[in-house]
Amino acid sequence: MIIIMGLPGAGKSSVLSGVEGMGWKVLNYGTLMFEIAQKAYKLTNRDEMRKLPVEKQKKVQEEVAHRLSQEKGKVILDTHCSIRTAKGYLPGLPFSLLEKLPVDSIALITATPEEVMGRRKTDDTRVRDPEPIDSVREHDMMNKSLLAAYAAHRGCPARIIYNHDGKLEEAVRQLKQMLE
């Protein structure tokens, strides 16, 4: 399993669309969480999950990790490295869950805070709370720290892929290198 993480607006979906047809099954952690949380907590949209109490979020994460541990073959997990909550940053893949997954390598897709903010403003598919640029910068720093911790915990390679505006092909090329 290859884990691809990043901030909302970093361009994970765009980069992942560039590797379609390479024989990898792409699973979105947030979508899997929403399927469970929607039933358990009567949510109406995916963005409500991060507003659930942390204990409920952890319970949903555990169920998703169990499902993912059953996956076989070439799997890419698309997820967030951390989730900003009212109480602080919640690791997207706590060690207790991460150790259940067969991880080969992990990557963080990122961009400048200005690029992320610009992409969020034009994404009408999500319901996002307003966030100052310093908060985006802090969240990206937290993600880079967690990336290193996740890789050290699993003993696997980690990579940072920069998805700058107008440079999508370069980001896709770097991801393809990881998948070969």
Q: Render pLDDT for 41-50 as a digit per residue (tens, 0 to 9).
A: 989 888 788 7
Looking at the structure of the chain, the number of domains it has is: 1
Please give the structure tokens belonging to residue 1: 């399993």
Residues near 132 by Cβ (< 8 Å), separated by ≥ 6? Answer: none
* pLDDT of the residue at 45: 85
Residue 52 belongs to some domain of the structure:
no
Q: What is the pLDDT of residues 146-167, one digit of tens each?
A: 999 999 999 999 999 999 999 9
CB-CB neighbours of 18 under 10 Å: 15
Residue 43 belongs to some domain of the structure:
no
CB < 8 Å & 24+ apart, contacts of 45-53:
45/127, 46/126, 47/126, 47/127, 47/128, 50/83, 50/84, 50/85, 51/85, 51/86
Residue 112 belongs to some domain of the structure:
yes
One-letter amino acid of 141: M
Give the pLDDT band of residue 130 (cuts 50, 70, 90).
confident
Contact between 133 and 112 (Cβ < 8 Å) = no
Residue 41 belongs to some domain of the structure:
no
Report the CATH number at residue 149: 3.40.50.300
* pLDDT of the residue at 78: 94
CA distance 174 to 151: 18
Quote the distance between the C-alpha of residue 32 and its chain's center: 12
CA distance 66 to 8: 24
Mean pLDDT of the chain: 91
Domain that holds residue 10: 2-25+73-179
Residue 145 belongs to some domain of the structure:
yes
